[in-house]
């Protein structure tokens, strides 16, 4: 398979569109946790109950279309190979929990991969909607509409006092997790982000790296999301997140301008060194890849690099993950082979730009 073709399959169609503020905000996501009334949560449900849910979801929603979310595809975890599950995880269409722990798990995915509904994960139903760029409000509207559509057929576990009932006490109430994925290289470089995080936490919001381990954020990509789901209406939660993200965008833009003003040569040097590494290395680890991609993307945004498309960071962050590399190679890879293939895939991708 050619790289072009592989990429077409690997990058979700919705990601190919440019959203608002896409120089800094990569994507917006809304997740709603829901459960069936009268069936224990997956952690304690009997297999026959979980099978009943699978059958129900399949019979009602397989190949259905709701609004622009066309041809929902129902796939059970048991029919997928480990590598296929891994790829869905790396595309953020399913969680590692669903891939590895939910034997009777399944997922409904729309053709554009903009909507995915995980079935029998920690909760019976987890609706996820993705939008490119900064589009939280639209995402929430659409998630509500989709939720209403599901509810036409499903009796949700709901309590007047506690709201939507979920398996984990951290999700009860709205069941909402709103999150925004942001590229914040200048705030990270100038250490300003660390100083902003305590104030953000005070608002019940969390900032974390989504690639990489623990507190480390590979590629300067951060996710900002809400923690509180009880006692705060969805709209208010999204408004809070919205205003924090607006602040972060503003601060990131200021920090970029400051860098350009105070140390333009150092910045240019850093960016072109990273560009050189991506263009010429023969072995590259994911950590270095992420750092260089972040630098190059910043270089594109501030105008140092002109002949590369902006989508390169999003694309290559996804494509150079272990699961995708393995799928590209169509065989198991040792870490050394992975680093070699990663380097050659990046070079090939950059060549597409020149072609």
- Please enumerate, by residue number, every residue annotated as part of a binding site for ATP: 27-31, 92, 126, 177-181, 208-213
- Residues near 157 by beta carbon (within 8 Å), at least 6 away in sequence: 34, 35, 36, 37, 38, 164, 165
Instruction: Provide DSSP, 49-95.
Output: HHHHHHHHHHHHHTT--BTTB-S-EEEEGGGS-HHHHHHHHHTTSS-
Q: Does 194 bind other proteins (CB under 8 A)?
A: no
Nearer to other proteins by Cβ, of 103 and 262: the residue is 103
Q: Name the pairing type of β-strands 106-109 and 221-226.
A: unpaired
From candidates 166, 190, 281, 326, binder to other proteins by CB under 8 A: 166
From candidates 13, 20, 82, 231, binder to other proteins by CB under 8 A: 231
Binding residues: 27-31, 92, 126, 177-181, 208-213
Angle at 217 between CA 348 and CA 259, to 5 degrees: 85
Q: Does 56 bind other proteins (CB under 8 A)?
A: no
Provide the minimum distance between the beta carbon of 310 and other proteins in the complex, in angstroms, as a whole number: 23
Q: Does 100 bind other proteins (CB under 8 A)?
A: yes
Rounded Cα distance between 204 and 241, Å, is 9
- Residues near 338 by beta carbon (within 8 Å), at least 6 away in sequence: 322, 325, 326
**Binding span for other proteins by CB under 8 A among 53-61, 169-177, 293-301, 333-341:** 169-177
Q: Does 240 bind other proteins (CB under 8 A)?
A: no
What 3 state SS string does 107-145 have?
EEECCCCCEEEEECCCCCEEEEEEEECCCHHHHHHHHHH
From candidates 12, 135, 229, 286, binder to other proteins by CB under 8 A: 229
**Radius of gyration (Cα) for the chain, nearest Å?**
21
Tokens of 230: 């009880």
Q: How many residues touch other proteins (CB under 8 A)?
A: 62
Contact map string, positions 139 to 158, toward other proteins, x by CB under 8 A: -----x--xx--xx--xxxx
From candidates 58, 101, 138, 192, binder to other proteins by CB under 8 A: 101
**Binding span for other proteins by CB under 8 A among 18-26, 232-240, 268-276, 279-287:** 232-240
217 three-class SS:
coil
Q: Does 163 bind other proteins (CB under 8 A)?
A: yes
Within 10 Å of residue 215's Cβ, how many Cβ atoms?
9
Q: Give CA separation, 97 vs 67, 86, 119, 307, in Å.
A: 29, 11, 11, 40
Nearer to other proteins by Cβ, of 93 and 189: the residue is 93
Provide the minimum distance between the beta carbon of 49 and other proteins in the complex, in angstroms, as a whole number: 10
Q: Which residues are near other proteins by CB under 8 A?
A: 35, 37-41, 43-44, 46-47, 92, 95-97, 99-101, 122, 144, 147-148, 151-152, 155-170, 172-174, 176-177, 204, 206, 208, 210, 213-215, 223, 225, 227-235
């Amino acid at each position: 398979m050619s790289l072009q073709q592989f990429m077409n399959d690997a990058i979700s169609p919705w990601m190919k569109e440019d959203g608002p503020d896409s120089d800094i905000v990569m994507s917006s996501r809304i997740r709603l946790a829901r459960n069936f009334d009268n069936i224990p949560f997956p952690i304690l449900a009997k297999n026959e109950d979980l099978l009943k849910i699978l059958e129900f979801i399949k019979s009602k929603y397989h190949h259905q279309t709701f609004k622009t979310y066309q041809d929902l595809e129902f796939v059970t975890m048991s029919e997928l190979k480990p590598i296929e599950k891994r790829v869905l995880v790396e595309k953020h269409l399913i969680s590692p929990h669903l891939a590895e722990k939910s034997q009777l798990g399944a997922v409904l995915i729309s053709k554009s991969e903009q909507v995915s509904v995980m079935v029998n994960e920690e909760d019976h139903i987890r609706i996820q909607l993705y939008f490119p760029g900064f589009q939280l409000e639209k995402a929430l509207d659409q998630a509500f509409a989709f939720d209403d559509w599901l509810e036409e057929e499903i009796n949700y576990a709901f309590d007047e006092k506690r709201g939507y009932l979920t398996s984990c006490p951290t999700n009860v109430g709205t069941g909402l997790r709103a999150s925004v994925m942001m590229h914040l290289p200048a705030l990270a470089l100038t250490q300003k982000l660390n100083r902003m995080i305590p104030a953000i936490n005070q608002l019940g919001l969390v900032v974390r790296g989504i690639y990489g381990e623990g507190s480390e954020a590979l590629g300067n990509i951060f996710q900002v999301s809400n923690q509180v789901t009880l006692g705060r209406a969805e709209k208010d939660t999204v408004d809070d997140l919205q205003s924090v993200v607006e602040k972060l965008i503003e601060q990131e833009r200021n920090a970029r301008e400051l860098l350009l003003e105070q140390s333009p040569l150092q910045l240019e040097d850093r960016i072109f060194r990273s560009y050189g590494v991506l263009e010429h290395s023969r072995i590259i680890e994911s950590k270095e890849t992420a750092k260089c991609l972040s630098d190059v993307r910043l270089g594109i945004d501030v105008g140092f690099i002109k002949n590369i498309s902006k989508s390169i960071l999003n694309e290559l962050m996804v494509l150079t993950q272990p699961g995708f590399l393995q799928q590209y190679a169509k065989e198991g890879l040792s870490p050394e082979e992975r680093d070699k293939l990663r380097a050659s895939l990046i070079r090939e991708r950059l060549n597409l730009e020149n072609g």
